[in-house]
Amino acid sequence: MIYDVTIDGKNYRLELDRIDSHWQCRLDGREVQIDAILSRRNVLSVIIDGKSYEVKRERTSTDLHLWLGPVRYAAELRDPRSLRSRKGTGADEKGPRKLIAPMPGKVVRLLVAEKAQVEAGQGILVVEAMKMQNEIKSPRAGIVQKLVAAEGGAVNAGDVLAIVE
């Protein structure tokens, strides 16, 4: 199998095949001797040149992360034979900016009204989760074009709370 792997933004060409009980592995054309087993779900034990690595996998609906010790690597894996390329839509830098709920919780207070002029870093609303109140701040100076969230309403992580333009 051939994969294009991106780790922290750097691309690798990985050729990986399992023949009986051992692996054939080339990384960017260079041969690597590996011994690998899946220890349990999401945990891999890999031995390379006598060095032992424990690799943990963490996946959400959008991201894939691999952990080696305390270090987290953002990973993306593509099969170059597949026609569909999984590229992000690319967020626009200018124009309207969305305030996204960083965690599920309850909107306890709106600090500004729609159409209000706000500064970058100014609090827009307060979300409470796990008994802590957290102020959600504006990412830029501008006008609050839309307040999607309502006082007392429940929100999920990733929900759009407001749009500042």
Partner 1 sequence: MRAGFRHVSMFKKILIANRGEIAVRIIRACREMGILSVAVFSDVDRTSLHVRKADEAYHIGPAAAAESYLNFGKILGAARASGADAIHPGYGFLSENARFAAACAHTGIKFIGPTAASMEMMGSKTRARRHMEKAGIPFVPGTSRGLESVQEAEAVAARIGYPVMLKAAAGGGGKGMRLVDTREQLKSALEGAQGEAQRSFGDSEVYIEKAIVNPRHIEMQILADEHGNCVYLGERECSIQRRHQKVLEESPSPLVDPDMRRRMGEIALRVVRAANYTNAGTIEFLADQERNFYFLEMNTRLQVEHPVTELVTGLDLVHLQIRIAAGEKLPFTQEDIHMRGHAIECRIYAEDPDNNYFPSPGRITLLLAPSGPGIRRDSGMYEGWYVPIDYDPLLAKLVGYGSNREQAISRLMRALNEYFVGGIKTNISLFRRILSDPGFRSGRLDTGYLDRLLKTPPPEIKREDAWVAAIAAGLFTILEPDATGAGNGAGNGANAVSEWKKLGRSESLRRG
Chain positions contacting partner 1, by CB under 8 A: 1, 3, 5, 7-8, 10, 12, 14, 16, 18, 23, 25, 27, 32, 34, 36-38, 40-44, 46, 48, 53, 55-61, 64, 66-71, 73, 75, 77, 102-105, 129-134, 156-157
Write the Ramachandran bin of 39: left for phi over 0, alpha for psi from -120 to 50, otherwise beta: alpha
Q: Where are the beta strands (DSSP E) in 8-159?
A: 10-19, 22-27, 30-32, 34-40, 43-48, 51-59, 64-68, 71-78, 97-100, 105-110, 117-118, 123-129, 132-137, 142-147, 154-155
Helices marked H in 27-136: none
Closest to partner 1 by CB, 91 vs 130, is 130
At its nearest, how many Å lie between partner 1 and the CB of residue 50?
Answer: 14
Instruction: Provide the minimum distance between the beta carbon of 92 and partner 1 in the complex, in angstroms, as a whole number.
Output: 22
Shortest Cβ distance from residue 89 to partner 1 (Å)?
Answer: 20
CA angle 2, 14, 89 (to 5 degrees): 80
Beta strand 30-32 pairing with 22-27: antiparallel
Smallest gap from Cβ 148 to partner 1, in A, equals: 17
Q: Which is nearer to partner 1, 122 or 134 (CB)?
A: 134
Question: Is 72 or 115 the residue whose CB approaches partner 1 more closely?
Answer: 72
CB nearer partner 1, residue 115 or residue 140: 140
- Least separation in angstroms between CB 118 and partner 1: 18
Please give the Cα distance from 135 to 127 (Å, whole number).
6
Q: Which is nearer to partner 1, 48 or 141 (CB)?
A: 48
Q: How far apart (Å, rounded) are the C-alpha atoms in residues 34 and 49?
A: 7
